[in-house]
Amino acid sequence: MITIRPAAERGHARFGWLDSRHSFSFGEYYDPVHMGFGPLRVINEDRVAPGAGFPTHGHRDMEIISYVLDGALEHRDSIGTGAVIRPGEVQRMSAGTGIRHSEYNHSRSAPVHFLQIWIMPEADGIAPGYEQKAFPESERRNALRLVASRDGRDGAITIHQDVDLYAALLDPERSTTLTLRKGRKVWLQVARGSVTVDGTTRVPATLKEGDGAAISDVETLTITGVEPAEILLFDMV
């Protein structure tokens, strides 16, 4: 079963310096039908004006992943981490027992466009932590590149939940396929471009930029580029 979450139906917040689209309930946007999917709680598509950003604030008991599409995002936190995240890099911050951090557009002249993702951990009260890695475009081109997992296999960053997060860059008419283990479900987020998704014998579903899809009860999932596309795929319990 494939249920599409259309981009145009997401929550929307605009604060002058920030334009944010919410796939699930977040902040002042509340939709009881869209509270998350499995352990995936938040996918916000954020655009931040040059030099602006989120001042220091706190989190607890959440795995927070940042995935930059354009520009550069500067991160600082209370455990001593200072870093800049650019396209092709994935950052994981484990809030655990408590962490404070800030996120700012690193540029004074160009906006930054990124996805902020929250995943509920499998246990509360872990030690706060941070990890960031780069994944070359060549490894994501027309292939599902594992970028985060519970065991950190294949050079992925580690997250404290049974979620495999893949990233891919798909050319038109090029496909990639995932075989799902029994009992698993998938969330697919289209960050750019458009794709078709085929997990059934019916006509494949078409997803465009900003669309998401909740997918369950399928054994094999094939994703094909319609126009040049960038996708994230969450394989979850």
Task: Report pLDDT digits (tens) over 214-229.
Answer: 999 999 999 999 999 9
pLDDT in tens, 147-181: 999 999 999 999 999 999 999 999 999 999 999 99
DSSP state of 80: S
Tokens of 122: 């499998």
- To the question of pTM greater than 0.95 for the whole model, the response is yes
CATH code: domain of residue 168: 2.60.120.10
**Looking at the domain assignment, is residue 3 inside a domain?**
no
Tokens of 131: 């990890």
**Looking at the domain assignment, is residue 212 inside a domain?**
yes
**Do residues 174 and 231 both lie within one domain?**
yes
Q: pLDDT grade, residue 204 (50/70/90)?
A: confident
Rounded to an integer, the average pLDDT of 130-136 is 98
Query: What CA–CA distance (Å, rounded) separates 142 from 138?
Result: 9
- pLDDT value at residue 202: 64
Choose the final residue of a domain: 135, 154, 171. Answer: 135
Query: What CA–CA distance (Å, rounded) separates 56 from 34?
Result: 27
Into how many domains does the chain fold?
A: 2
Which has the closest alpha carbon to 220: 144, 168, 154, 145? 144
Domain extent, residue 220, equals: 139-236
Question: Quick check: helix, strand or coil at residue 9?
Answer: helix
